[in-house]
Amino acid sequence: MKLLVLGHGYSAGFLTPLLLARGWEVAGTSRSAPERVASLGAIPLLWPGDEPEIRTHIASADAILISAGPEHGHDPAIAAFGDVIACATPRWLGYLSTTGVYGDHAGGWVTEDTPLTPSTRRGHERVAAEAEWQALAAANDLPLHIFRLAGIYGPGRGPFAKVRSGTARRIIKQGQVFSRIHAEDIAQVLMASIRQPRAGAIYNLCDDDPAPPEDVIAHAARLLGLPLPPAEDFATAQMTAMARSFYAESKRVSNQRIKDDLGVTLRYPDYRCGLAALLATET
């Protein structure tokens, strides 16, 4: 069995070892770091650069995962390889999107059936990209699965370095909550879906415990035995426009469908056990 990952980044790096252990061949594209892809045991492909080889892999793939984000309002994988993907015959096609497609719900719950009302440019681009993939799949009978990811954390992407260095911030915005997902849980959900394809399915990938971001920072500090970073009011905090945009939306994301349809039991159902596991691997 063969998997091709278009945009083999952080999240795909946790899926690759799971598939290799089951005898799969994995190939993945990278813009500039093929050695990182190769270090995971996957076949490295440069994109842009190795388009003929990538097309060959698309044509023979049993599964294709698109992890590359939108560029200039369009999906780069469709722009570069839409013609060969349309003619391919994978048993599973996955697209990694974001829960940002739901927009702001003032802390309320959203499910996969919630209307898409993004409030940021990134969210609008993801809605457009999802629509592009759905149109391509419908026109060519492709087994598309969309995965809407919450905030990703995991090894190398935890809060501990900032807490240790004293650069962590507890930004307080009344009523603000985020959902998040450990990278290992992303990989196990993708594995479950590959084993049980449901063409047209859409899944939210998040843990069980949406929480204010300042609570996560505070817990990390307590785990390290360090003082809590000082609280800063969102209204007056000095932040970049990009950082401030992450606070434009507040919602609680339901993950019930991955449990009901795929039988997934999260390894890290909340940030507390996730952070404890990260710290254990760092020490």
pLDDT digits (tens, 9 = 90+) for 102-140: 999 999 999 999 999 999 999 999 999 999 999 999 999
Question: Is 283 a residue whose pLDDT tops 70?
Answer: no
Domains of the chain: 2-157+181-207+253-267 (3.40.50.720)
- In the numeric block, the tokens 């500090």 are attached to 221
What predicted TM-score, i.e. pTM, was given to this entire model? 0.97
Each residue's pLDDT tens digit, 25-66: 999 999 988 999 999 999 999 999 999 999 999 999 999 999
Q: Strands, DSSP E only, in 31-143?
A: 43-46, 63-66, 92-98, 109-110
30-52 burial, b at 16+ Cβ within 10 Å, e below that, comes to beeebebbeebebbbbbbeebee
The whole-number pLDDT of residue 45 equals 98
pLDDT at 115: 98
